[in-house]
Structure 1
């Protein structure tokens, strides 16, 4: 998508870009409050209030790349649990090279930052050639090629962007996918949890609480300068959030960062624990929290710094650096952890020399 050009020869350009990225993160509480209001007023996309259009849907296929792919992976959990529809997630760059059969009654949802990337457009064309009956494009510009070619559109306006590092666009896509999940659940006559409206109303306030954790995240960022590698771990629908967090550390701070499910820490990563590494865990207190904590304890006696984001206090556990997240939202909680990791990656970048050189690569006139 078109991005405001920044004069990198200017001595103030990197400072401006740095401030613009932080501003994009900090704008998210107000941005999503606005999107939720539009959804309630039925001005976001009229078909969101017309579940009968999807009554024949029997499966969902999500296609995306980059950060949007991680958003699609989170949405798979929502769609399968709330709408009871089998859901598949594919990379746009790989989708066209698969030998697939047309599956009647499958809803195709394609996500994109710009709506102009060749892989994404080719994936939509391939899906249409396979005679998938319904296609929805989720993006941020109504006049993009992707939006014009899909059957239905969900345009999520997020304002001007100055870099290709996805922050507010990622979480906006998550919110849009959750709204679609509600519509699909209604179309399948699935019971909608009674707390969803209250949860949507509480989301902007919960995001503001996450943003208020900035001083603590800055302290963590100082500690993250020493480890040679960063691993981010989680389970279930937080695992894609860990992947997105790792991507943010690579893009913003030029740090070696990878994501790993808590249950897989013992395979490979445990053998690196004698080196100086950092382990960041997304640990919402749920049915698997105790198991996740047990998986983390195996690293206590190694040269591994452990950082835990959790909605329950963990300060009394030896060997853990913990920050208490806001009160848990039943469904939208992954957004809060995504924003916390965005802030942590940003502050890690500002405590090193990597930000300025990286921002020169991240600033361009076009973005996929």
Structure 2
């Protein structure tokens, strides 16, 4: 969501801060701003809209200075506007903030009663006023920040500076990510490594309730009680090239085409000629997986759809019961946890607020242990889980997730196979499934060859306002994901249903203006799906069928379009059939002229509830 960059250096930092904000644009935002200390005075540039709008203000009136903070905002408290854009100020204090302060209303009322006049609707300005009030009592900036965050309820990552201490920035985090970038004669804060990779690859990841003080030559981390603590330094493997768009028109298109390599990387050294390799979930995984008698998968959005696919796999191959739930719902009900249930969290960023809170909540509910499937090795989810599997998708800049989904499916397939082996799956079938999974990168590469046909097909959606996606079995979650992609980036209202549910309501929507997208790989449910599609044909619906050459599907083209997808087998078909649906959503959005990589109102890393 919101993006934070801060710097203390011997050079002017505003250009570095703005470049860092541009690297964070993928997170989603509606306004941006920068504040720099210039000769003992805090100067700001803020603007509604894209970073380039704020950058234009900076270029017209440069902000020199070696200490600064910057921010991209995704609105929570208060509408998108310059007044609500960060950084916020109170007296000698300026602050940027990611998260939500839950007790801000009572704190704001207390400050107003004391005579403070607010200029924004944000919870962030409340923090600035609290810090300034404590700072006025004569304590240091660090002590003022420590005293303030002890009073806060909710989630935050903050970076704070004072005009009276122009050589330092103080940061703090709880429930939202913040890391330190270590340079030579300069140090930085950022929401993630992509904001800082332009200046350093040495990163220090803060833990919950850490407070950090950075100067040009020194970094010190403190616990909430003010005691110094040590945090390990990591060298980021992220490269500048990894976050460049290259020859592609959009990041989303680039990331769709990176999927064969991303999936191959996820499978590499984890599956071999004789099956899934040992200890891929961690050196302590053997006993935990052997004791697993059921799984509870928790995730949000696209990751939730990946979990739904995994339910079909694990229940069929490993014969273990699986429940899948949206994280925000799990947190607020008292789930019944059968003995031996493994808690599985799925997240691209590893900082998704609802998923992280759900995993923390799982500790008191009697789960066997926790396993995380994630793309961010230094994230909070990964650091706090018992077992973990990294998906190796690399940076995903486009807000609409693509390669994160297929690599999550690859990781979940490995989990399904490992559990199946432990629970007595026939050796021959196990070997066949492993061979099929190893073929997945090539099958995705073949599916990408459909792009020219999908470009032609996408023209049919330009003036459509609604679409329906259908699938059966493990393809139903794929239909859900296809509908989500279309609505996210083209703003076409799209829904997905199990095809057998058509007659229980959605069939009322079907007419010649309603495209019906069906995912139809060969399998035991195909004949059932054909019958469902005949119901659509009988009512004049426009059929778009993705099939893998099964007998009897060609006649569907008489009432629409059929595109052939070589699935590579029923096990990997969900991942393969996802790819043409991603391409369809992408090219429809391009034709409709929407902001593909940064769709309105959405954010990449959702670090608030």
TM-score in terms of structure 1 length = 0.91
Q: Match of 2:458?
A: 221
- Could you tell me how far apart the structure 2 residues matched to 1:279 and 1:358 are? 26
Structure 1 residues 156 and 48: CA distance shift in structure 2, 3 A: farther
Point out where structure 2 has 5 or more consecutive residues left out of the alignment. 4-21, 26-49, 57-243
SS of 1:129 mapped into structure 2: coil
Decide whether the 8 Å contact of 1:163 with 1:362 is kept in 2: no
Q: Match of 1:23?
A: 254
Give the C-alpha shift of residue 96 in structure 1.
Answer: 1.5
Match of 2:446 among 195, 201, 209: 209
After alignment, is 284-293 or 73-82 more displaced?
284-293
Give the C-alpha shift of residue 36 in structure 1.
Answer: 1.5
Structure 1 residues 208 and 294: CA distance shift in structure 2, 3 A: same
Which digits, 9 at most, give the CA deviation of each residue in 1:27-57, with x for residues without a partner? 1011111222231375983549965542221
Give the C-alpha shift of residue 101 in structure 1.
Answer: 3.8
Match of 1:148 among 373, 383, 387: 383
Structure 1 residues 122 and 16: CA distance shift in structure 2, 3 A: farther
SS of 1:166 mapped into structure 2: coil
Q: Match of 2:267?
A: 36
Structure 1 residues 357 and 118: CA distance shift in structure 2, 3 A: closer
Which digits, 9 at most, give the CA deviation of each residue in 1:94-152, with x for residues without a partner? 11211234432111111112111221121111111112121101111111111111111
More helix by share: 1
Larger Rg: 2
Q: CA RMSD in A?
A: 2.7
Q: Match of 1:174?
A: 409
- Could you tell me how far apart the structure 2 residues matched to 1:189 and 1:117 are? 35
SS of 2:511 mapped into structure 1: coil
More strand by share: 2
Q: Match of 1:326?
A: 566
SS of 2:401 mapped into structure 1: coil
Give the C-alpha shift of residue 274 in structure 1.
Answer: 3.3
SS of 1:108 mapped into structure 2: strand
Give the C-alpha shift of residue 248 in structure 1.
Answer: 0.2
Q: Does 1:315 align with 2:358?
A: no
Q: Does 1:107 align with 2:342?
A: yes
Structure 1 residues 354 and 113: CA distance shift in structure 2, 3 A: same
Match of 2:519 among 282, 286, 298: 282
1:247-262 equivalences in 2 (<5 Å): 247-262=484-499
- Could you tell me how far apart the structure 2 residues matched to 1:115 and 1:228 are? 34
Give the C-alpha shift of residue 221 in structure 1.
Answer: 0.5
Give the C-alpha shift of residue 293 in structure 1.
Answer: 1.2
Decide whether the 8 Å contact of 2:470 with 2:516 is kept in 1: yes
Match of 1:245 among 460, 476, 482: 482
Give the C-alpha shift of residue 327 in structure 1.
Answer: 4.4
SS of 1:60 mapped into structure 2: strand
Give the C-alpha shift of residue 330 in structure 1.
Answer: 2.8
Q: Does 1:9 align with 2:52?
A: yes
- Could you tell me how far apart the structure 1 residues matched to 2:383 and 2:587 are? 38
Q: Match of 1:157?
A: 392
Q: Match of 1:127?
A: 362
SS of 2:595 mapped into structure 1: helix
Q: Match of 2:534?
A: 297
Q: Match of 2:116?
A: none
Give the C-alpha shift of residue 347 in structure 1.
Answer: 0.7
SS of 1:121 mapped into structure 2: helix
Decide whether the 8 Å contact of 2:523 with 2:570 is kept in 1: no
SS of 1:181 mapped into structure 2: helix
Structure 1 residues 43 and 82: CA distance shift in structure 2, 3 A: closer
Decide whether the 8 Å contact of 1:284 with 1:328 is kept in 2: no
Give the C-alpha shift of residue 182 in structure 1.
Answer: 1.2
Structure 1 residues 160 and 71: CA distance shift in structure 2, 3 A: same
Q: Match of 2:582?
A: 342
After alignment, is 296-305 or 87-96 more displaced?
296-305
- Could you tell me how far apart the structure 1 residues matched to 2:567 and 2:298 are? 32
After alignment, is 184-193 or 165-174 more displaced?
184-193
- Could you tell me how far apart the structure 1 residues matched to 2:395 and 2:567 are? 31
Q: Match of 2:510?
A: 273
Decide whether the 8 Å contact of 1:51 with 1:184 is kept in 2: no
Point out where structure 1 has 5 or more consecutive residues left out of the alignment. none
Give the C-alpha shift of residue 301 in structure 1.
Answer: 4.5
Q: Match of 1:233?
A: 470
SS of 2:297 mapped into structure 1: strand
- Could you tell me how far apart the structure 2 residues matched to 1:48 and 1:169 are? 25
Decide whether the 8 Å contact of 1:48 with 1:183 is kept in 2: no
SS of 2:398 mapped into structure 1: coil
SS of 1:233 mapped into structure 2: strand
Decide whether the 8 Å contact of 1:76 with 1:89 is kept in 2: yes
Decide whether the 8 Å contact of 2:251 with 2:597 is kept in 1: no
Which digits, 9 at most, give the CA deviation of each residue in 1:292-321, with x for residues without a partner? 112111222544211000001633442131
SS of 1:322 mapped into structure 2: strand
- Could you tell me how far apart the structure 2 residues matched to 1:260 and 1:246 are? 10
- Could you tell me how far apart the structure 1 residues matched to 2:539 and 2:598 are? 32
SS of 2:349 mapped into structure 1: coil
After alignment, is 323-332 or 252-261 more displaced?
323-332
